A and B are shown apart, each in its own frame.
Chain A
Amino acid sequence: MTGSAPPERLKILIADDNASDRMLLSAIISRQGHEVLSASDGAEAVALFERNRPQLVLMDALMPVMDGFEAARRIKELAGEALVPIIFLTSLTEGEGLARCLDAGGDDFVAKPYNQGVLAAKINAMNRLRLLQETVLQQRDLIARHHKYLLNEQRVAKAVFDQIAHSGCLSAPNIRYLQSPYALFNGDLLLAAWAPSGNMHVLLGDFTGHGLPAAVGAMPLAEVFYGMTAKGYGLPETLREMNAKLKRILPVDMFCCAALISVNFKQHLVEVWNGGLPDGYLLHGDGRPHTPLVSAHLPLGVLSANSFDDNTQVYPFGAGDRVFLLSDGVVDSTDESGEMFGTRRLQNVFVSNRNPAMLIEEVQWALARFRGQVRDDVSMVEVGFTQPELLGPPSVIYTDSGDSSPLDWSASFEFRASTLKRFNPLPYLLQLLQEVHGLRLQSSELYIVLSELYSNALEHGVLGLDSALKRDAEGFALYYQQRGERLDALERGFIRFNFQIIPVGQGGRLIVEVHDSGSGFDAQQVLSLPPAVDQLSGRGLSLVRQLSDRCQWSLDGRTACVEFAWEGLAYSRDS
Chain B
Amino acid sequence: MADEHVDVSVLGTLRDVMEGEYPSLLDVFIKDSETRVRALNQLIRAPGFSVESAAQLQPLGMMAHSFKGSSSNMGATRLTELCRLLEELARNQSAADGAVVNQLVQAITDEFSVVRDLFDVELQACTLR
Contacts and interface: CB of A to CB of B under 8 A. Distances in A.
B32 interface: yes
A31 B31 CA distance: 25
Nearest to B19: A27
Nearest to A61: B65
B68 A21 contact: no
Q: For this complex, into which size category does the number of interface residues on chain B fall?
A: 20 to 34
Contact of A116 (B17, B28, B65, B74): B17
Contacts of A114: 73
Nearest to B74: A20
A23 to B, nearest CB: 5
A91 B68 contact: yes
B69 A24 contact: no
Interface in A244-270: none
B5 interface: no
Contacts of B32: 18-20
B52 interface: no
B25 interface: yes
A94 B31 CA distance: 30
A91 B65 contact: yes
A18 B19 CA distance: 20
A354 interface: no
A20 B73 CA distance: 9
Contact of B29 (A20, A31, A92, A113): A20
Interface residues of A, number: 19
Nearest to A20: B29
B18 A91 contact: no
A24 B25 contact: yes
Contact of A24 (B18, B19, B31): B18
A62 interface: yes
A112 interface: yes
Given A18-B32, A113-B10, A23 B17 contact: no
Nearest to B30: A20
A102 interface: no
A511 interface: no
A20 B25 contact: yes
Given A62-B62, A94-B91, A113-B10, A21 B17 contact: no
A91 B69 contact: yes
Contact of B66 (A24, A31, A62): A62
Nearest to A89: B69
A27 B21 contact: yes
Interface in A474-504: none
B91 A21 contact: no
Contacts of B28: 19-20, 23
B70 A20 contact: yes
B40 interface: no
Interface in B72-103: 72-75, 91
A21 B18 CA distance: 12
A28 interface: yes
Contacts of A23: 18, 21, 24-25, 28
Contacts of B25: 20, 23-24, 27
27 contacts: A18-B32, A18-B69, A18-B70, A19-B29, A19-B32, A20-B25, A20-B32, A20-B70, A20-B73, A20-B74, A21-B70, A21-B73, A24-B17, A24-B73, A27-B17, A27-B18, A27-B25, A28-B17, A91-B65, A91-B68, A91-B69, A91-B72, A112-B69, A113-B69, A113-B73, A113-B75, A116-B13
Given A19-B32, A27-B18, A112-B70, 17 more contacts: A18-B32, A18-B66, A18-B69, A20-B70, A20-B74, A21-B69, A23-B18, A23-B24, A24-B18, A24-B25, A27-B17, A27-B19, A28-B17, A91-B69, A94-B91, A112-B72, A112-B73
